[in-house]
Amino acid sequence: MNFFLWSDASSDRYKMTLKQEPFQPFLFLSFLEFSQAEVVLDIGANVGVYSLLSTLSDSVRKVYAFEPDNDAYEQLKKNTLLNSVDGKLITSNSAVSDKIGVLKFGTHLPMSGVNSVVDSSIHDPKIFKDTKDIESVTIDSLISLKGKVLGLKIDVEGHELNVIRGAKEVLIASPAFIQIEHYAGDNIDYELEELGYFRFFVAGHDHYFTNISNFASPLFIKSALEHASACLIESQLERWPVDKTIKSALALGYEISGNLVKVWSKKDDRFFTDDVEYAFYLMENGKKTDEAWYSSDGAASFTINESAEKVEIKGFVREKSMPDKKIAVGIFVKHPVVGYRPESAVKNALGLPSKHAAVFNWLYGLSLGSEDIEISLLSYAANFKSFIQLGGSADFINLLKVKGFEFGEKYAVSRCVRFGVSVEPEDNFSECISDKGFEKYLVKDSQGLESACLDLIKKIKTPTLILLRGQFLADIEADVSSLRVLFDGLPLDSVLYAEKLSNASYRNALHDIAIKNDIEIIWLPPASKILPRDRQKSYQSENYLKGHSTANAMYADFFDVASSLSSQGMHPEKALGLDFSLPEERR
């Protein structure tokens, strides 16, 4: 994780964390993205690996980091300042428990991962070289958290149950996911199940629980795992993140005339104050041959050697009041021709559209990829008389009506599936009028979609609101170009709503076709809705398939089909490459 600055004292500690948990920090970050978490609670933050990483999520407004060990806390504070995230990351030198008061805390070594509350520690008390009284707080005492979408990481060496018991009110009232070290066995499962949470993933001793309906979909989780994997790989290749951390806060420019090169620097004011100083190195064939030492002048000039095959200028910036807050970048003035270096794949690893899921949806008539999206952003939907939904369940139209959005003309274009559809399309599409007051087109391929679009543009005469579900085109083996005939024929001032968590190539293609036709496009993030209690019970039953294959609370037919598949020995989560159980739990 070399895109953050770490204090000298904490460097070994953060490296040890990444060695012991190489994937989990990126899983946590991905689940923040897929839940659109607003607030992160890092309980047992140590020097801040998870806390700092959480600041990369665009949806996260605040990160609260709790660390009772004094040595680790001091480094956590310093790392917060070194990376200029103190406006987003709030630190607390306290323990989180089930009561506000005082606890006995044991210390083995400074910043050690075994330092913990003595009475509940999973470690032998004899290893503690020192004990002290520390203040404890509860999550429930943080009233402002209730109702916000939360991401929690709990790593407190045996005190996990106490943390949960002191957070019951907040956890019941808030959509949340939790990464928790699972040393207390089934007691953790029981406590969280009582609060309406189900386990959706396991990585070593870290178990993941949530009450958010979208995480009941195997495809949703699979997409999040793929995104986490891409983040891990791309970070190791130093192609991600871009322009999100202090490591990218300095840019260099240069001009060259003969043997004289002038170089200048520009800092990012989000990370560095005005009270900074700059330095430059001239590097020829990999060796430093000249320098301009630290000064407030952000420019320098060097004379380069004509015979040097490779010439690089390295630039440095640091804050005067905190010299450790320093970064360096390089720019080549002269270098041999090098090969192509691909860009980061992170933005193209968000999971939708998924051809893998399309095959499974077709085989079993499922609705993988139809998770809840944030319709509260449909701010001016009432201005439209016409509405078209491409893909997904027609129940979405009724949901819009409940929210106060009513349309004079409503159309739904849906995939013709093997289960739950009584009308087989004749030729390429079939049109029918339902008792819900909208016209429905059933299509089976791209040709059918184009035929439906041709019919639609004959009927639509006013600006239209279009909702495109992210998995729809993949389900009918079509691509964005299949929508061209619709977009070409739509009236001016029409608006397209599409899903934010979709692959960059798909988003770029949609953007291009929308801009070409003067159609505004707005990206809708996933909605984190608390799974209703009647659904939560199904996740706690002995039927594992039922517990992890319901697409979301809106799609009751999916649950019925999943039950049918289970009786036939077919498992959607395994077909998607997801088996969430530990080896000893498998039957």
pLDDT in tens, the chain (587 residues): 789 999 999 999 999 999 999 999 999 999 999 999 999 999 999 999 999 999 999 999 999 999 999 999 999 999 999 999 999 999 999 999 999 999 988 888 888 878 878 787 788 787 888 889 999 999 999 989 999 999 999 999 889 999 999 999 999 999 999 999 987 677 999 999 999 999 999 998 899 999 999 998 888 998 999 999 999 999 998 888 878 899 999 999 999 999 999 999 999 999 998 899 999 999 999 999 999 999 999 999 999 999 999 999 999 999 999 999 999 999 999 987 777 778 888 989 988 898 888 888 887 777 888 888 887 656 667 778 899 999 987 666 766 777 777 788 889 998 886 544 444 544 556 665 555 678 889 998 999 999 999 999 999 999 999 999 999 999 999 999 999 999 999 999 999 999 999 999 999 999 999 999 999 999 999 999 999 866 555 544 333 333 333 333 333 344 444 444 455 555 555 555 565 444 444 44
466 within domain boundaries:
yes
Are 277 and 390 contained in the same domain?
no
The CATH number of residue 101's host domain is 3.40.50.150
Contact 44, 67 (CB under 8 A): yes
123 shares a domain with 42 = yes
Residue 346 lies in a domain: no
Does residue 252 share a domain with residue 121?
no
In this structure, are 58 and 165 located in the same domain?
yes
The CATH number of residue 267's host domain is: 2.60.40.10
What is the tally of structural domains in the chain? Answer: 3
Does residue 448 lie within any of the structural domains? Answer: yes
Residues 197 and 250 in one domain: no
Q: What single letter denotes the amino acid at residue 373?
A: I
pLDDT at 112: 81
User: What is the rounded distance in angstroms from the CA atom of residue 95 to the CA atom of residue 44?
Assistant: 8
pLDDT at 419 (0 to 100): 43
Same domain, 387 and 462: yes
Three-state DSSP state, 68: coil
Identify whether 112 is part of a domain. yes
Q: Does 494 share its domain with 390?
A: yes
**Same domain flag for 73 and 146:** yes
Q: Where are the beta strands (DSSP E) in 108-185?
A: 116-117, 130-137, 150-154, 176-181
In terms of domains, do 378 and 507 share one?
A: yes
- Same domain, yes or no, for 383 and 428? yes
Q: Is residue 580 part of a domain?
A: no
Is there a single domain that holds both residue 387 and residue 466?
yes
User: Do 276 and 154 fall into the same domain?
Assistant: no
Write out the residue range of the structural domain in which residue 85 sits. 11-21+36-211
Contact present, 552 and 217 (Cβ < 8 Å): yes
* Assigned domain for 110 exists: yes
- First and final CA of the chain: distance in angstroms? 38
pLDDT at 310: 94
Last residue of a domain, one of 283, 305, 334: 334
pLDDT of residue 428: 56
CA distances (Å), origin 97, targets 166, 217, 434, 504 = 6, 32, 55, 42
CA distance 44 to 93: 10
Q: Looking at residue 451, which CATH number applies to its domain?
A: 3.40.50
The per-residue pLDDT of the chain, averaged, comes to 86
